[in-house]
Amino acid sequence: MTKPLIFISNDDSVEAPGLRHLIDCVADMGDIIAVAPAEPHSGQSSAITVNRPLRLKECDSYHGARVFSVDGTPVDCVKLGLHAVADSRPDIMLSGCNHGSNAGNCITYSGTMGAAIEATMAGIPAIGYSLLDHSMKADFSRTVPYIRDITEKVLANGLERGICLNVNFPAGVDIEGLKVVRAARGYWSEEYKEYTDPFGKPFYWLTGRFVNIEPDDSATDEYWLARKYATVVPARADQSAIDCIDAVSNLLGL
């Protein structure tokens, strides 16, 4: 019997512990190809490289997985991996496990979810996994049973075409359970720290925090993550606001 083909990527780089953790979690579920950025690419969303060629390099295998790096973005990794590495269509695509949250509207900026959405647009069931801990020494151990259970169920049953899953885990606590919810609404309160380089010229470093405008809404991921639950948010690759077509047509007198 042919084993399922599992395609893995991330945005924290091919060297990130979260990538190795994800491979470890699913190593017995099928044949694995991992194609990840050579350098960290957090916050790259669905960016692609169009102004230069890409370099694909095979790295040392890990836990039976073939591992490759690309000097590009997470979406570059998915596109190039499907074109130049995978000999057949993957049965599932996993992205992560990300070092840091992709809850709330972080999905808009997330390279982790950008990679998952790219696979979704190619018709491949995709899941993005994230732990709410940015440390490269983050403890992913409590996520194992959840990653395995979710991945096994999606492998067995698939997902509706055009839908991917955004899964987030609380960090440093025993996980109380799993909730399927929507993304919390909010915005980034951004601040740019100004510094001066050795030549006396200013440069800026982005900082800030996510402001949740509905912290008491139990239908949201941020609500349950704060209460030690893992969350699953179904996300659509198609961003069309279909329910607004009539209203916009009326607005424009059409």
The CATH code of the domain that includes 58 is 3.40.1210.10
Q: Which residues pair with 68 in a beta bridge?
A: 35, 58
Quote the tokens at residue 1: 């019997």
Q: What is the CA radius of gyration of the chain?
A: 19
Task: Write the burial class of residue 23 (CB in 10 Å: 0-12 exposed, 13-18 middle, 19+ buried).
Answer: buried
Is residue 207 over pLDDT 90?
A: no
Give 126: exposed, middle or buried? Use CB within 10 Å, 0-12, 13-18, 19+: buried
How many domains would you assign to the chain?
1
Is residue 202 in some structural domain?
A: no
- 3-state DSSP: the chain helix, strand, coil percent, rounded to 5? 30, 30, 40
Tell me what the pLDDT averaged over the chain comes to: 96
User: Percentage of the chain surpassing pLDDT 70?
Assistant: 100
110 in any annotated domain: yes
The mean per-residue pLDDT over the stretch 242-247 comes to 95
Q: Does residue 63 form part of some domain?
A: yes
113 domain-assigned: yes
φ/ψ of 144, rounded to 5, equals -55, -55
pLDDT tens string 86-106: 999 999 999 999 999 999 999
Residue 159: predicted pLDDT? 98
Placement of tokens 């941020």 in the chain? 222
Inside any domain, residue 231: yes
pLDDT at 191: 85
Q: Which residues of 175-186 are buried (b: 16+ CB within 10 A; e: fewer)?
A: eeebbebebbeb
pLDDT at 74 over 90: yes
**Paired residues of 205 in beta bridges:** 193
Give dist(CA 167, CA 146) in Å, integer.
Answer: 10
Give domain status of residue 244, yes or no.
no
Residue 189 pLDDT greater than 90, yes or no: no
* Dist CA 150 CA 125 (whole Å): 12
In this prediction, residue 217 carries a pLDDT of 97
Residue 243 lies in a domain: no
146 has a pLDDT exceeding 80: yes
Instruction: Place 210 in a pLDDT band, splitting at 50, 70 and 90.
Output: confident
What's the domain range around 172? Answer: 5-182+216-238
